[in-house]
A and B are shown apart, each in its own frame.
Chain A
Amino acid sequence: MAQLNPEIDHLLRRAGFGVSAMEVETFKNMSTPVAIAYVVDYEGRPDDVDERIGRPDHVQVASKDAFLPDIDIDDARQRWMFRMIHSRRPLQEKMALFWHNHFATAYSKLAGDSGNLQAAKMLVSKPGALRGPQGQIELFRKYALGNFRDLLIEIAKDPAMLIWLDGKTNTRSKPQENFGREIMELFTVGVGYYTEPDVYAAARVFTGWNLRQSEGFDRNDMNAYQEFVYNADEHETTDKAFSFPIYGNGSRTIPSRSASAGIQDGIDLITALAFHPETPRRLARKFWNFFISDIHAPDPAFVDGVAAVYLQNRTEMRPVIRYVLTSPWFTNPAMKYARYSWPVEYVARAIKEVGWQNFSLDRVRTPLANMGQLLFDPPNVGGWHLGANWFSTGTMLARTNFAAALASSQKEFLAVAMEDEGNSPQALLAGMLNRVTPAPLDAAPQQALMTYLLAGGNWGGAEQLNTRTAGLARLLVGSSEYQLV
Chain B
Amino acid sequence: MRISRRLFIRDGVATVTLGLTAPAFLSAIAQAQGLPNRRLVVVYLGGGNDALNTLVSYQDPQYYSRRPTLAIPAGQVLQVGTDAAGHTLGLHPRLGGIWNIFNEGRLALVQRTGYANSSRSHFEATDIWGTANPQSSTGSGWLGRYLDTLPRPLDALAAWNTTGDTPRALLSGVSGVPAIPNGSTYAYASPNRGSAAVQERQALQTMAANPSATRPHLAFVNSTTRGALETLDRVAQASTYTPTVAYPNSGFGLAMRTIAGAIVKGVGSKVYWASTGGYDTHSGQGQQAGGAYGNLMGTLGDGLAAFYNDIRNQGLLNDTTVIVFSEFGRRISENGSNGTDHGAAGVMMVLGGMVRGGLHGTAATLAPGHPTLENNSGDVRYETDFRSVYARLLDGWLGVNSVPILNGDFRAGAPAVF
| B336 in contact with A480 (CB, 8 Å) | no
Instruction: Return the contact of A408 from the options B11, B120, B179 (Cβ within 8 A).
Output: B11
Instruction: Return the contact of B7 from the options A112, A392, A449, A466 (Cβ within 8 A).
Output: A466
Bound form: Cα–Cα A473–B292 in Å: 47
Q: Which of A46-54, A68-76, A380-388 contacts the other chain? A: A380-388
Query: Taking beta carbons and an 8 Å cutoff, which residues of B are in contact with A?
Result: 1-5, 7-13, 46-47, 119-124, 161, 164-166, 176-181, 185-192, 195-197, 199-200, 202-204, 206-210, 212, 215, 217-218, 220-222, 224-225, 227-228, 231-232, 277, 280, 282-284, 292, 335-339, 341-342, 375
Residues of the B chain whose Cβ atoms lie less than 8 Å from the Cβ of A455? 195-196, 199
Instruction: Return the contact of B191 from the options A181, A191, A385, A474 (Cβ within 8 A).
Output: A474
| A408 in contact with B335 (CB, 8 Å) | no
Closest to A380 in B: B122
With a 10 A CB-CB cut-off, give which of A338, A422, A475 has the most chain B CB atoms. A475
Q: Does A468 contact B (CB under 8 A)?
A: yes
Q: Does A484 contact B (CB under 8 A)?
A: yes
Give 1 or 0 for each of A394-421: 1 = CB within 8 Å of chain B CB. 1111001100110110011001100100
Bound form: Cα–Cα A394–B185 in Å: 10
| B7 in contact with A462 (CB, 8 Å) | yes
- Listed by A's residue number, 7 A-B pairs whose Cβ atoms lie within 8 Å are A174-B335, A176-B337, A380-B47, A385-B165, A408-B13, A451-B203, A470-B192
Closest to B226 in A: A393
Closest to A190 in B: B121
Q: Does A390 contact B (CB under 8 A)?
A: yes
Instruction: Return the contact of B207 from the options A191, A295, A479, A483 (Cβ within 8 A).
Output: A479
| B10 in contact with A412 (CB, 8 Å) | yes
How far apart are A338's CB and chain B's nearest CB, in angstroms?
7
Q: Does A253 contact B (CB under 8 A)?
A: no
| B336 in contact with A176 (CB, 8 Å) | yes
Bound form: Cα–Cα A173–B335 in Å: 9
Q: How large is the interface on A (under 10, 10 to 19, 20 to 34, 35 or more residues)?
A: 35 or more
Bound form: Cα–Cα A249–B47 in Å: 39
| B224 in contact with A466 (CB, 8 Å) | no
Residues of the A chain whose Cβ atoms lie less than 8 Å from the Cβ of B119? 191
Q: Does A171 contact B (CB under 8 A)?
A: yes
Residues of the B chain whose Cβ atoms lie less than 8 Å from the Cβ of A452? 199-200, 202-203
Q: Does A115 contact B (CB under 8 A)?
A: no
If A165-B282, A404-B189, A466-B8 are given as contacts, then 19 extra A-B residue pairs at C-beta distance below 8 Å, sorted by A number, are: A171-B336, A176-B341, A196-B120, A390-B165, A392-B179, A393-B179, A396-B225, A408-B190, A411-B8, A411-B11, A439-B218, A444-B207, A452-B200, A462-B7, A474-B191, A479-B204, A479-B208, A481-B218, A484-B218
Give 1 or 0 for each of A305-348: 1 = CB within 8 Å of chain B CB. 00000000000000000000000000000000010100000000
Known: A415-B8, A470-B191. A170 touches B336 (CB 8 A): yes
Residues of the B chain whose Cβ atoms lie less than 8 Å from the Cβ of A338? 217
Q: Does A221 contact B (CB under 8 A)?
A: no
Bound form: Cα–Cα A320–B204 in Å: 41
Main secondary structure of the interface of B (DSSP, over half): loop
Bound form: Cα–Cα A460–B161 in Å: 45
Residues of the B chain whose Cβ atoms lie less than 8 Å from the Cβ of A478? 204
With a 10 A CB-CB cut-off, give which of B176, B177, B228, B338 has the most chain A CB atoms. B228
| A412 in contact with B5 (CB, 8 Å) | yes
Bound form: Cα–Cα A397–B12 in Å: 18
Instruction: Return the contact of A393 from the options B196, B217, B224 (Cβ within 8 A).
Output: B224
| A449 in contact with B207 (CB, 8 Å) | yes
Known: A392-B178, A445-B206. A178 touches B282 (CB 8 A): yes
How far apart are A71's CB and chain B's nearest CB, in angstroms?
23
Residues of the A chain whose Cβ atoms lie less than 8 Å from the Cβ of B283? 166, 169, 176, 178
Residues of the B chain whose Cβ atoms lie less than 8 Å from the Cβ of A393? 176, 178-180, 224, 227-228, 231
Instruction: Return the contact of B206 from the options A388, A444, A456 (Cβ within 8 A).
Output: A444
Give 1 or 0 for each of A424-452: 1 = CB within 8 Å of chain B CB. 00000000000000010010110111011
Bound form: Cα–Cα A468–B202 in Å: 14
Known: A113-B284, A177-B335. A191 touches B124 (CB 8 A): yes
| B282 in contact with A166 (CB, 8 Å) | yes
The 4 A-B pairs with the shortest beta carbon distances in the complex, nearest first, are: A174-B336, A392-B179, A169-B337, A408-B191
With a 10 A CB-CB cut-off, give which of A381, A455, A468 has the most chain B CB atoms. A455
How far apart are B182's CB and chain A's nearest CB, in angstroms?
9
Residues of the B chain whose Cβ atoms lie less than 8 Å from the Cβ of A262? none
How far apart are B135's CB and chain A's nearest CB, in angstroms?
13
| B13 in contact with A419 (CB, 8 Å) | no
Closest to B283 in A: A166
Known: A166-B339, A391-B220, A474-B200. A448 touches B189 (CB 8 A): no
Closest to B178 in A: A393
| B228 in contact with A405 (CB, 8 Å) | no
| A380 in contact with B8 (CB, 8 Å) | no
How far apart are B196's CB and chain A's nearest CB, in angstroms?
5
| A471 in contact with B192 (CB, 8 Å) | yes
Residues of A343-399 at the interface with B, using a CB-CB cut-off of 8 Å, are 370, 372, 379-382, 385, 388-397
How far apart are B198's CB and chain A's nearest CB, in angstroms?
9
| B375 in contact with A196 (CB, 8 Å) | yes
Closest to A453 in B: B203
Residues of the B chain whose Cβ atoms lie less than 8 Å from the Cβ of A165? 282
Q: Does A266 contact B (CB under 8 A)?
A: no
Bound form: Cα–Cα A455–B161 in Å: 36
Closest to B207 in A: A445
Give 1 or 0 for each of A146-174: 1 = CB within 8 Å of chain B CB. 00000000000000000001100111011
Bound form: Cα–Cα A405–B284 in Å: 41
With a 10 A CB-CB cut-off, give which of A401, A422, A462, A480 has the most chain B CB atoms. A480
Closest to B203 in A: A452
Known: A415-B3, A452-B199, A462-B7. A395 touches B164 (CB 8 A): yes
Q: Does A280 contact B (CB under 8 A)?
A: no
Q: Does A199 contact B (CB under 8 A)?
A: yes
| A392 in contact with B164 (CB, 8 Å) | yes
Closest to A388 in B: B220
Known: A411-B11, A444-B206. A177 touches B341 (CB 8 A): yes
| B221 in contact with A391 (CB, 8 Å) | yes
Bound form: Cα–Cα A470–B202 in Å: 16
Q: Does A16 contact B (CB under 8 A)?
A: no
How far apart are A433's CB and chain B's nearest CB, in angstroms?
14
Bound form: Cα–Cα A381–B54 in Å: 24
Residues of the B chain whose Cβ atoms lie less than 8 Å from the Cβ of A389? 165-166
Q: Does A423 contact B (CB under 8 A)?
A: yes
| B282 in contact with A396 (CB, 8 Å) | no
With a 10 A CB-CB cut-off, give which of B11, B122, B161, B164 has the most chain A CB atoms. B164
Q: Does A185 contact B (CB under 8 A)?
A: yes
How far apart are A236's CB and chain B's nearest CB, in angstroms?
11
Residues of the A chain whose Cβ atoms lie less than 8 Å from the Cβ of B224? 391-393, 395-396, 480
